[in-house]
Amino acid sequence: MKTPKTGLASAETINFNGLPAIRLSTTDGALAVITLYGAQLVSWIPVDGRERLYLSELSRFGQGQAIRGGIPVIFPQFSTTGPLPRHGFARTMDWTLISARHEQAYASATLRLSDSDATRAIWPHAFVAELTVMIEHNRLDIELEVENTGAEAFAFTAALHSYFSVAKANMCSLQGLDGVCYLDKTDGGTLKREDGEALIFDRELDRVYLDASQPLLLWEPARHLSIEAEGFPDVVVWNPWLEKCALMDDMPPAGYRQMICVEAAAVGRPVELPAGERWFGRQTAISL
């Protein structure tokens, strides 16, 4: 185990692969980096000094291109479930930093995205989305809030597309989904039921677990990760495995071995948001 670096808590602007970003740090050594492009958390290092998010070494960092790894913000469309670009537009737009706070025990930042000519051209709704990231010791809280600032209701799907870093995916298991029904995207979206106490990673997985309300545990031989969600009713579990990973030009061929996506999501039933109302969803991860 690495010894954490201690010092002053801070929230500072940095350059991350050519993109403006915010680096958060706490006095006991926890760190996080969020790019303003996409409001994407690209690094989370708890006090034990070990990176908890996977970021592909082949990821692109240019305008209009999705960053492969970290925690992309999926809004207002998950995957290809509608007419918008895959996973919507929030992850490929510039957000604005509206606040950053730090005390001895924690540090946080909030970023905002509002409707514009570019968003209204493909999704004709007025909205404000805010993403807040907070780190504290071995804990990460990431919250997405959406406000309907228009005169008519709209519907959306969303997710926090969390790429968690693991030593070896085939040595991991995910606990807490026993008995939950899921859509199996590797089998044409067939509805199935999870009947095992722990999900293992030995093949391609692309599943949307519906109404998955229990806390989850991502287990590794040397460390674990507790994952809980509020406001997001569903959980997406994804790993492209060998064949599909080899076809991805922004992932190394063996990248699938080093990541597992466990995503807080609102996918099964789109969120219906009346005019003037707000919705929020939060994901909490604790490194154990």
Is residue 152 annotated as part of the catalytic site, yes or no? Answer: no
What's the CA gap between 109 and 112, in Å, rounded?
10
Q: Are strands 163-165 and 259-273 parallel, antiparallel or unpaired?
A: antiparallel
With contact defined as beta carbons under 8 Å apart, do 26 and 105 qualify?
yes
Closest by CA position to 185, among listed 153, 210, 207, 156 = 207
Q: Are 184 and 199 in contact (CB under 8 A)?
A: no
Catalytic residue among 87, 130, 161, 194: 161
Q: What CA–CA distances, in Å, run from 190 to 50, 183, 207, 209, 284?
A: 37, 5, 10, 12, 29
Give 166-170's long-range contacts (Cβ < 8 A, gap of 24+).
166/54, 166/218, 166/220, 166/258, 166/259, 166/260, 167/220, 167/221, 167/222, 167/258, 168/257, 168/258, 169/201, 169/239, 169/256, 169/257, 169/258, 169/259, 169/260, 170/200, 170/201, 170/202, 170/257
Catalytic residue, candidates 136, 143, 194, 263: 263
Are 132 and 22 within 8 A, CB to CB?
no
Q: Is 137 a catalytic residue?
A: no
**Separation CA 91–CA 105 (nearest Å):** 29
Catalytic residue positions? Answer: 161, 263
